[in-house]
Amino acid sequence: MSFSFELIRKDPHSGARAGLMRTPHGEVPTPVFMPVGTQATVKAVSPKELEELGATLILANAYHLYLRPGAEVIAKLGGLHRFMAWEGPILTDSGGFQVFSLEALRRVDDEGVLFRSHLDGSEHFFTPEKAIELQEKLGADIIMCFDECADPLDYEYNLRALERTHKWAERCQAAHTRGDQALFGIVQGGVFPELRAKSVEFLTSLDFPGYAIGGLSVGEPKAVTRRIAEFTASLLPEDRPRYLMGVGAPEDLFDYVARGIDMFDCVLPTRLGRTGTALTKRGRLNLRNARFADDPAPIEEGCQCYACRHFSRAYLRHLVKAKEILGIRLLTLHNLHFVLELMRRIRQSILDGTFAAFKEEFLSSYEAREDYRMRRPGGRRG
């Protein structure tokens, strides 16, 4: 069975869309939030728990898995699904973003990228062909083209990088042999509308089954991210899923669903969980705060997650303060539930024709924070 995407309903008042992706490992209702499982594990939760949380698509990273344990090892053990015991759909990131991070990059030419492993400093050479071979060995349902990630604000660099990204997209497509994997193209072009338009024009001529918008949310002002994402999404074909890479804070989900984005990934829920912070309808709750020391309430009243059904803020605070593993696990479960449930409600509101009202209701009480940037240039993700 191969990949398909069906557009089910468009919101009449915004760019929001509800759809359904079909993959060899199951269906993915869109818009969708992908929990990030960089190292073939969504940190602190089991695949069984992910299933119970209703995750339908998870993201793993080809760069990290190439370095450790190695794609051959995973292929020999039956591929990524079998290796990590997650039978649902998986998307792998090609590694472009990681190898172009400042600390890794050694040299780039038309052939590929020489980079340094963040694990042991050893040098490796990635080409588009190698990125595809690697992702075919891993065996995810959706794989990504290998692209050059430029500083979004540097016009000259983006102009050059775009040329290369386009040639590499052609080479990725030519190298791709597995019919059971969907290869998505990645639109680049920084913060420059004319470059984004050029990129969309070229990549859509290659007719990919889906398109990602890359190179955003890497430090540029949020208003710029919104403008460029909206502009780019508006040029992409309606009958293909659109993936905004590295974005997915609760307020962003509304912002970008409204701008026609279908797929999101973000380390925020899992990373916050590990630092003792919970996502709630009012914003973030830092459970280290002394005021929760004897608070008998759950993280969020009415939340149906395992943590909220069984444990008080006081107990969770105690676990976090005592650095107990269970505290991290429970907060991660809650945060993932929060974001996945939010996305389910967003999708339902699009189907019901109430997206605008739901958006307004949620954002009127949610206190967004600006410090969630998880994909800095030169930083690593995951």
Per-residue binder mask for Zn ion (CB under 5 A), 275-304, x = binder:
----------------------------x-
In the annotation, is 93 catalytic?
A: yes
Which segment (82-90, 164-172, 315-323, 326-334) binds Zn ion by CB under 5 A?
326-334
Among positions 161, 218, 272, 308, the unique one binding Zn ion when judged by CB under 5 A = 308
Quick one: which segment of 47-55, 215-223, 245-253, 327-335 binds Zn ion (CB under 5 A)? Answer: 327-335
Which residues on neighbouring strands pair with residue 61, listed in sequence order?
93
Nearer to Zn ion, 56 or 335 (CB): 335
Q: How many chain residues are in contact with Zn ion, going by CB under 5 A? A: 5
Scanning 43-51, 54-62, 131-139, 333-341 for contacts with Zn ion by CB under 5 A, the matching segment is: 333-341
Category of 260 on φ-ψ map: left (φ > 0), alpha (ψ -120 to 50) or beta: left
Q: At what angle do helices 222-235 and 250-257 cross, to 10 degrees?
A: 40
Site for Zn ion in 33-52 (CB under 5 A): none
C-alpha–C-alpha distance, residues 241 and 239, integer Å: 7
Q: Cβ 224 to Zn ion, closest distance in Å?
A: 34
Cα angle, residue 238 at apex, residues 236 and 241 outer, rounded to 5°:
80
Q: How would you class 154 by CB atoms within 10 Å of its CB: exposed for 0-12, middle for 13-18, buried for 19 or more? A: middle
Nearest residue (CB) to Zn ion, 222 versus 281: 281
- C-beta of 177 vs 309, nearer to Zn ion: 309
* Shortest spacing between CB 298 and Zn ion, in angstroms: 6
The active-site residue, picked from 11, 255, 262, 265, is: 265
- Strands, E, within 134-180: which ranges? 142-144
We find the least distance from the C-beta atom of residue 280 to Zn ion, in angstroms, to be 8
Active site residue 262: no
Shortest Å, Cβ 302 to Zn ion: 9
Contact 326, 306 (CB under 8 A): no
Query: Whole-angstrom Cα distance, residue 54 to residue 132?
Result: 29
In whole angstroms, what is the distance from residue 286 CA to residue 289 CA? 6
Cis amide bond preceding 35, omega within 30:
no
CB 330, min distance to Zn ion, A: 9
Which residues lie closer than 8 Å to 213 by C-beta, 6 or more apart? Answer: 186, 187, 228, 229, 232, 233, 242, 243, 244, 245, 261
- Among 93, 141, 255, 262, the one annotated catalytic: 93
Q: Which is nearer to Zn ion, 62 or 307 (CB)?
A: 307
Residue closer to Zn ion (CB basis): 228 or 303: 303
Task: Give residues 230-269 in contact with Zn ion (rule: CB under 5 A).
Answer: none
Exposed, middle or buried, 291 (CB in 10 Å: 0-12/13-18/19+)? exposed
Distance from C-alpha of 199 to C-alpha of 161, rounded to nearest angstrom: 11
* Complex with Zn ion: residue 67 or 299, whichever CB lies closer: 299
Q: Which of 17, 329, 334, 381 binds Zn ion (CB under 5 A)?
A: 334
Residue 84 or 307: the one with the smaller Cβ distance to Zn ion is 307
Instruction: Give the one residue of 62, 216, 285, 305 binding Zn ion; rule: CB under 5 A.
Output: 305
- Minimum Å distance from CB 216 to Zn ion? 30
What span, in angstroms and rounded, lies between the C-alpha atoms of 42 and 378?
23
**Parallel, antiparallel, or unpaired for β 113-116 and 105-108?**
antiparallel
Tell me how far, at minimum, the Cβ of 307 lies from Zn ion, in Å: 5
Task: Give the largest CA-CA distance in the chain.
Answer: 61
Considering only the stretches 73-81, 188-196, 334-342, 371-379, report the one whose residues sit in contact with Zn ion under the rule CB under 5 A. 334-342
Catalytic residues: 93, 265
**Residues near Zn ion, by CB under 5 A:** 303, 305, 307-308, 334
